[in-house]
Amino acid sequence: MIKIAICDDEKIEIDLLYKEIMKAADEAKIVVSCDKLLYGNILLDHIQNRKTVYDIIFLDIYMPDITGLNLAKNIKKFSPKTEIVFVTLSRQHAVEAFDLHALHYIIKPVNVQQIKDVFIRYDNKYKVKKTIEVRVGRDLIQLDLKAVQYLESHNNGTDIYTKSGKIHTSINTRKLEEQLDKTFLRIQRGFIVNMHFVDHMTTDSCILKNRTTILISRKERSNIRATYREFIFNSLEEGE
C-alpha cells in the first residue's frame, strides 16, 4: 500500500485531486490510503508530532501559511524518504522543485494520466526485485523471477528453467504458482511460462525463444491466447 497525503489551502482543490488519485489507483490496481490536509502547518504537525510517514505527498506551491517549496524542505528534514509531487498552476518554480529532487511537477488541472505517471515514477524508483523461494536439497534459495523462463512438473516436483540452467525442486508446480506474478501463464497442466520468454503462439501451440514447443490446453486455449495478447499489448504501451 502507498500512503499518500494531499496538502493545499483550498478544500475544493484537495477534493478534486483526491478524486483523481483514487481513480488512477483503481485503474492501475494500486492500493493507496490518502489523507486530505488543509494548510501546510497541519501537514507538518502530522509529520513532526504525530510521526506520520507518507510515501508520497502532493503539495500545492502557493499557500498562505508556507510555500510548498519551503514546506518540502521541512518535510525532508523529518522524513527524507518521502517523495514530493508539486501541484500548481504555473511552471515558474519547476527548476526549484527539481533542485529539491521532487518526484514530479504537475500543472493543474490534474488528470488521471498525470497521477498514473506519478505511480510509475514511484514504482521505478522503489521497485523491489521479485523473487521465488524454492527448496533445492536441504537449502532454500531465492530466484529472481525475471531469470525464470518456464516451469515444468517433473518427478513429483518442478524443473525450473532459468537463464543459467535447470534447477529441480521438490515443491510442486501448483504451490510455486502462488509465488509467481502476472507475467507468468499456465499453458497446460504442469507447465507455466514466463511470457517474456514466449516467441509467439499459434492456434494450438506456444513456441518459446529456445524453440521449445508446448501444446496449449484445449480447454483453456481461448483464455490463454487472450491473456498473452493483452500482455503483448501492455508491453508495447509500456515500451518493454
3, 55 contact by CB (below 8 A) = yes
134, 101 contact by CB (below 8 A) = no
Q: What is the DSSP string of 36-60?
A: EEESHHHHHHHHHTS----SEEEEE
Task: Identify the CATH number of the domain defined by range 2-126.
Answer: 3.40.50.2300
Taking residues 121-132, report their average pLDDT. Answer: 78
Q: Is the pLDDT of residue 235 over 90?
A: no
Taking residues 68-92, report their average pLDDT. Answer: 88
pLDDT band for 128, please (50, 70, 90 cuts).
Answer: low
Tell me, rounded to whole angstroms, the distance of Cα 84 from its chain centroid: 18
Q: Is the pLDDT of residue 187 over 90?
A: yes
Q: What is the pLDDT of residue 180?
A: 87
Which carries the bigger pLDDT value, residue 193 or residue 29?
A: 193
CATH says 131-238 is which class? Answer: mainly beta
Q: Where in the chain is the domain with CATH 3.40.50.2300?
A: 2-126
Q: What is the pLDDT of residue 209?
A: 95
Taking residues 19-30, report their average pLDDT. Answer: 92
Q: Where in the chain is the domain with CATH 2.40.50.1020?
A: 131-238
Which carries the bigger pLDDT value, residue 115 or residue 236?
A: 115
Taking residues 170-180, report their average pLDDT. Answer: 89
pTM score over 0.75:
no
Q: Is the pLDDT of residue 21 over 90?
A: yes
Query: What is the three-class DSSP state of 64?
Result: coil
Cα(176)–Cα(43) distance, integer angstroms: 44
Q: What is the pLDDT of residue 184?
A: 94
Q: What is the pLDDT of residue 237?
A: 54
pLDDT band for 65, please (50, 70, 90 cuts).
Answer: confident
pLDDT > 90: what percent of the chain?
57
pLDDT band for 165, please (50, 70, 90 cuts).
Answer: very high
Q: Is the pLDDT of residue 59 over 80?
A: yes
When the pLDDT of each residue in the chain is averaged and rounded to a whole number, the result is 89
Helix 68-78 and helix 40-48, axial crossing angle in degrees, nearest 10: 0
Taking residues 99-123, report their average pLDDT. Answer: 90
117, 107 contact by CB (below 8 A) = no
Taking residues 54-63, report their average pLDDT. Answer: 91
pLDDT band for 69, please (50, 70, 90 cuts).
Answer: confident
